[in-house]
A and B are shown apart, each in its own frame.
Chain A
């Protein structure tokens, strides 16, 4: 054993280890740990690696189904998409590193999630991102966003994975704690799946990829603590990415897997060599012994502590069949990548780390993985969850809907995100059927008639008011987005971004979100195959909005069913599947109230939409009704009746109709004439964010057939008007609410976001 450093309360506190946890370590080892061992425990028992606060709740989520080949617990979830093929996908957060160093934080987030996918043998074919920043009128938030977007682009573009979709949201809540959640999806044949298991006692443990440096030491514990004023000085904790090396690593790993000599493989992500060794051993019930003298190192004089905790990027650990090492080495030599045997699989269930033959750490794998602490943290419902609207006014406010529409379209939250996605290569691999900007991203699968659709959705704004219903809406909207492009939702992954779990109010939010997600995922038959929990998203004691982000993958078969959200020409019927509004008086009153309150901001340079939206409660949702609407829409698309479909969400019916008038191919806009039934408060009908509504267009000849489908699912189908000309007009009874040239609306919508970045 190396020289003992006294384990003082200061040392424990630096490692985020509580006294209770320390006692547990002593009990497990039957002795005091040395510093290296303490470091290993601290990263494996960190929130980031152990899920110690969230585990008891995550268990409630549905994780099984006929298509699920691999649920939570592996590097990524795997589902069967029929024929010979399976897909692996997952979402993961890189919030903390991205705040400290936006470019590298985001870049390595992309790198990490790509490795999670190809470590299972799948070739990454799509990436998406869910991003949340503070308001763009603050220069600091613009800087963070610019860095994050450039980091994602820099990594994904070079690696050669198309970044085809996602979401970008702006709220004050994320100013001190941006959210960067990266999703990746890969494809493989069902008989080519690899797992992160160290099986076969005596098999060599091989280290491949980049050399180990001092970067990222304690990244996992950093990601498990709140921010304070000193956080920005933690920059050395953020790793630096090398997408070129990752691309070589991908090709080399996939080629090495074909030799048949690889038994198990796992990427070195958070907690690097520590996590990969003990998790691979833990899953197989084996032990792993490594000697650090063989680990390729970038700098000299690194201690065992540093080597074990380094989070240098682009590294993988694999276990090969004994005697077949040379077949593996040959492939890595071709790609000019380091590959060395650093140890072997043992039968004793221990993680034994040596340095030049001397044991420097020895810990049971199970103590670090399955038997890590689990907490049932206290929950408390906050005293006031939702701000009730003030007393109802005698008369509804008069709202000039045309100007409101223009103002709303200029909000960064509603405006086109092309400034972002044009920086991402979204077409490499020539599979992109639906360009970014639609309801969901779609890629075809070469050699088949299938296509995959995918979407990421979250709504911190709703979850803040009602975490449970907000989470239900996130799932519902995600599935709705998939249905709109013609896909049947199959399975989900989630990224749960919350504040400090030691606050009972935060844990209550978390628990409620899990319940809502559970209910919705069961209703839509989209089991959760894994994901990531990111806690301690707080700066100076202020937590972010509870922000569960859900990613769902759907199947389109045949690919020709793929449907866009853009009007396809004159003379089409425009109709609404679902109820125009909900008979929810509280929500209706809140809409009126929000418009009154927002009136001064509508004529100011402020982001009036976001201010308005934050004054609204979480909208009502009936999960059953939602499912019926989705089923009707999908059936209509599959029957070839529907030309275009678009989900009504942020900004309501008016914004959704406006978006349909545009196109992602930069074709000229297409107008429409819409007639709504007369209402007491038309602005509420136009902009209210009622759920379970899908706008569709169809040929007149198909109207009756679609009516039948809607009736069969007991869903309302309301005829709203016709596509025509180059203006969007919306009438309510006899009065004109909106009459705007599409070209002008499009110009506002298309350029508003980019204008923040014109230097």
Chain B
């Protein structure tokens, strides 16, 4: 079982994702340069956070044209697990692998702090080991995390239970006060219809080790490993 971490010019959480897989999960992991046309046989792909191409245009708008994204599209279409964190989420939106778009935070400022998110669906490879309704304490760090989609898309997301995480209070209430960026319906993370592609604004890799003060993010990675193991057994 091997993880791949995409590297775009301007990615800056690639080392964090790499460390997460190699030193916390103790699994093989490889960096994949944005100009690569294949995914080096990886079984799961992490699109890390950062400021791909400086994000001087719309976040993720240039990264979607990188050669590696074509490979990711094919991989995802074949059911491969793809997880986009922060800028990775933004890139997946721009690439059309996930529906919707990101607007600037409602406060118009970058926000870095711990937030609470409620697990809305445990029926994804990324949340299989989490309990639906459970609350995770995970940090965010972004300027454009204000998720937006048109009414029809939102309806579809809700009907298909594609909303995976929502910003909430400590005790799991979905309120405006608990929404750090103005995101539509407090959305913090969504998956695609096939449920094999996840995008989330919070950084689970920043909350997966006791030394960092919080391990709530670990369940996301462990769920992925569990789902991958299941796939291996099946095949």
Does A424 lie at the interface of the complex (its beta carbon under 8 Å from any beta carbon of B)? yes
Task: Identify B112's interface contact among A336, A425, A433, A666, CB under 8 A.
Answer: A425
Does A259 lie at the interface of the complex (its beta carbon under 8 Å from any beta carbon of B)? no
A444 to B10 CA separation, bound complex (whole angstroms): 24
Residues of the B chain whose Cβ atoms lie less than 8 Å from the Cβ of A153: 109-110
A661 to chain B, nearest CB (A): 18
Task: Identify A157's interface contact among B15, B16, B51, CB under 8 A.
Answer: B51
Q: Report whether A435 and B213 are in contact in the complex, using a CB–CB cutoff of 8 Å.
A: yes
Task: Identify A430's interface contact among B19, B50, B51, CB under 8 A.
Answer: B19
Stretch of B74-82, B155-163, B201-209 at the chain-chain interface? B201-209
Residues of the A chain whose Cβ atoms lie less than 8 Å from the Cβ of B211: 433, 444, 559
Binary contact track A558-583/B, C-beta < 8 Å → 1, others 0: 01000000000000000000000000
Q: Report whether A244 and B9 are in contact in the complex, using a CB–CB cutoff of 8 Å.
A: yes
Q: Report whether A446 and B10 are in contact in the complex, using a CB–CB cutoff of 8 Å.
A: no
A755 to chain B, nearest CB (A): 14
Residues of the A chain whose Cβ atoms lie less than 8 Å from the Cβ of B19: 430, 446
- Given A427-B112, A446-B19, also A247-B212 (CB < 8 A): no
A310 to chain B, nearest CB (A): 22
A159 to B9 CA separation, bound complex (whole angstroms): 11
Does A261 lie at the interface of the complex (its beta carbon under 8 Å from any beta carbon of B)? no
Q: Report whether B213 and A248 are in contact in the complex, using a CB–CB cutoff of 8 Å.
A: no
Residues of the A chain whose Cβ atoms lie less than 8 Å from the Cβ of B109: 150, 153, 422-423
Stretch of B53-61, B127-135, B192-200, B221-229 at the chain-chain interface? B53-61
Residues of the B chain whose Cβ atoms lie less than 8 Å from the Cβ of A160: 12-13, 50-51
A714 to chain B, nearest CB (A): 35
B-side interface residues, number (CB < 8 Å): 32
Most buried by B among A421, A425, A559: A425
Binary contact track B124-145/A, C-beta < 8 Å → 1, others 0: 0000000000000001010100
B96 to chain A, nearest CB (A): 24
A442 to chain B, nearest CB (A): 10
Q: Report whether B16 and A429 are in contact in the complex, using a CB–CB cutoff of 8 Å.
A: yes
Q: Report whether B212 and A157 are in contact in the complex, using a CB–CB cutoff of 8 Å.
A: no
Residues of the A chain whose Cβ atoms lie less than 8 Å from the Cβ of B209: 430
Does B114 lie at the interface of the complex (its beta carbon under 8 Å from any beta carbon of A)? yes
A244 to B16 CA separation, bound complex (whole angstroms): 18
List residues of B (1-34) whose CB comes within 8 Å of A's CBs: 9-10, 12-13, 15-16, 19-20, 23
A466 to chain B, nearest CB (A): 38
- Given A430-B205, A432-B212, A444-B211, also A666-B12 (CB < 8 A): no
Q: Report whether A159 and B112 are in contact in the complex, using a CB–CB cutoff of 8 Å.
A: no
A245 to B20 CA separation, bound complex (whole angstroms): 26
A366 to chain B, nearest CB (A): 40
Residues of the B chain whose Cβ atoms lie less than 8 Å from the Cβ of A428: 12-13, 16, 49, 141
A159 to B51 CA separation, bound complex (whole angstroms): 8
Residues of the B chain whose Cβ atoms lie less than 8 Å from the Cβ of A665: 114, 213
- Given A157-B141, A244-B56, A248-B10, also A429-B113 (CB < 8 A): no
B74 to chain A, nearest CB (A): 25
Residues of the B chain whose Cβ atoms lie less than 8 Å from the Cβ of A427: 112, 139, 141, 203, 206, 212
Most buried by B among A153, A157, A428: A428
Residues of the A chain whose Cβ atoms lie less than 8 Å from the Cβ of B205: 430
A298 to B19 CA separation, bound complex (whole angstroms): 39
Task: Identify B113's interface contact among A150, A244, A422, A444, CB under 8 A.
Answer: A422
Q: Report whether A422 and B111 are in contact in the complex, using a CB–CB cutoff of 8 Å.
A: yes
Does A379 lie at the interface of the complex (its beta carbon under 8 Å from any beta carbon of B)? no
Question: Across the two chains, which residue of chain A brings its CB closest to B111?
Answer: A422
B150 to chain A, nearest CB (A): 29
Q: Report whether A430 and B111 are in contact in the complex, using a CB–CB cutoff of 8 Å.
A: no
Q: Report whether A244 and B112 are in contact in the complex, using a CB–CB cutoff of 8 Å.
A: no
List residues of A (156-181) whose CB comes within 8 Å of B's CBs: 157-160
Q: Report whether A433 and B113 are in contact in the complex, using a CB–CB cutoff of 8 Å.
A: no
B168 to chain A, nearest CB (A): 14
Binary contact track A655-692/B, C-beta < 8 Å → 1, others 0: 00000000001100000000000000000000000000
Q: Report whether A158 and B55 are in contact in the complex, using a CB–CB cutoff of 8 Å.
A: yes
Q: Report whether A433 and B213 are in contact in the complex, using a CB–CB cutoff of 8 Å.
A: yes
List residues of B (32-59) whose CB comes within 8 Å of A's CBs: 49-51, 53-56
A375 to chain B, nearest CB (A): 43
B68 to chain A, nearest CB (A): 15
Binary contact track B70-114/A, C-beta < 8 Å → 1, others 0: 000000000000000000000000000000000000000111111
Q: Report whether B54 and A242 are in contact in the complex, using a CB–CB cutoff of 8 Å.
A: yes
Task: Identify A159's interface contact among B12, B15, B49, B55, CB under 8 A.
Answer: B12
A28 to B56 CA separation, bound complex (whole angstroms): 48
A631 to chain B, nearest CB (A): 26
Does A627 lie at the interface of the complex (its beta carbon under 8 Å from any beta carbon of B)? no
Does A194 lie at the interface of the complex (its beta carbon under 8 Å from any beta carbon of B)? no
Task: Identify B111's interface contact among A159, A248, A335, A423, CB under 8 A.
Answer: A423
Residues of the B chain whose Cβ atoms lie less than 8 Å from the Cβ of A430: 16, 19-20, 205-206, 209, 212
Question: Across the two chains, which residue of chain B brings its CB closest to A248?
Answer: B9
Does A426 lie at the interface of the complex (its beta carbon under 8 Å from any beta carbon of B)? yes
Q: Report whether A335 and B9 are in contact in the complex, using a CB–CB cutoff of 8 Å.
A: yes
Question: Across the two chains, which residue of chain A brings its CB closest to B17?
Answer: A430
Question: Across the two chains, which residue of chain B brings its CB closest to A446?
Answer: B19
A245 to B114 CA separation, bound complex (whole angstroms): 29
Residues of the A chain whose Cβ atoms lie less than 8 Å from the Cβ of B206: 427, 430
Q: Report whether B9 and A429 are in contact in the complex, using a CB–CB cutoff of 8 Å.
A: no
B38 to chain A, nearest CB (A): 18
Q: Report whether B15 and A429 are in contact in the complex, using a CB–CB cutoff of 8 Å.
A: yes
- Given A158-B10, A160-B12, A446-B23, also A243-B54 (CB < 8 A): yes
Q: Report whether A244 and B15 are in contact in the complex, using a CB–CB cutoff of 8 Å.
A: no
Residues of the A chain whose Cβ atoms lie less than 8 Å from the Cβ of B212: 427, 430, 432-433
A123 to chain B, nearest CB (A): 9
- Given A248-B9, A435-B213, also A423-B110 (CB < 8 A): yes
Residues of the A chain whose Cβ atoms lie less than 8 Å from the Cβ of B50: 160
Residues of the A chain whose Cβ atoms lie less than 8 Å from the Cβ of B10: 158, 244, 247-248
Residues of the A chain whose Cβ atoms lie less than 8 Å from the Cβ of B141: 157, 425, 427-428
Q: Report whether A157 and B110 are in contact in the complex, using a CB–CB cutoff of 8 Å.
A: yes
Question: Across the two chains, which residue of chain B brings its CB closest to A250?
Answer: B12
Question: Across the two chains, which residue of chain A brings its CB closest to B54?
Answer: A244
B56 to chain A, nearest CB (A): 7
Residues of the B chain whose Cβ atoms lie less than 8 Å from the Cβ of A336: 9
A738 to chain B, nearest CB (A): 28
List residues of A (419-464) whose CB comes within 8 Å of B's CBs: 421-430, 432-433, 435, 444, 446
Question: Across the two chains, which residue of chain B brings its CB closest to A159?
Answer: B12
Task: Identify A422's interface contact among B49, B55, B112, CB under 8 A.
Answer: B112
A418 to B107 CA separation, bound complex (whole angstroms): 14
Most buried by A among B10, B15, B143: B10
Residues of the B chain whose Cβ atoms lie less than 8 Å from the Cβ of A418: 113
Residues of the A chain whose Cβ atoms lie less than 8 Å from the Cβ of B13: 160, 428
Question: Across the two chains, which residue of chain A brings its CB closest to B49?
Answer: A428
Binary contact track A234-268/B, C-beta < 8 Å → 1, others 0: 00000000111101100000000000000000000
List of 6 A-B pairs having minimum Cβ-Cβ separation, nearest first:
A160-B12, A244-B54, A158-B51, A430-B16, A425-B141, A427-B206
User: Could you write out 27 A-B pairs with CB less than 8 Å apart?
Assistant: A150-B109, A153-B109, A157-B112, A157-B143, A158-B51, A158-B54, A160-B50, A160-B51, A242-B54, A245-B54, A247-B51, A422-B112, A423-B111, A425-B110, A427-B203, A427-B206, A427-B212, A428-B49, A428-B141, A430-B20, A430-B205, A430-B206, A430-B212, A433-B211, A433-B213, A435-B213, A446-B23
Binding site for B on A (CB under 8 A): 150, 153, 157-160, 242-245, 247-248, 335-336, 418, 421-430, 432-433, 435, 444, 446, 559, 665-666
Binding site for A on B (CB under 8 A): 9-10, 12-13, 15-16, 19-20, 23, 49-51, 53-56, 109-114, 139, 141, 143, 203, 205-206, 209, 211-213
Known contacts A427-B212, A428-B141, then 19 further A-B pairs from the complex at CB < 8 Å, ordered by chain A residue = A153-B109, A158-B12, A158-B51, A159-B12, A243-B51, A243-B54, A244-B54, A421-B112, A422-B109, A422-B110, A422-B112, A423-B111, A426-B112, A427-B203, A428-B16, A429-B15, A433-B213, A444-B211, A665-B213
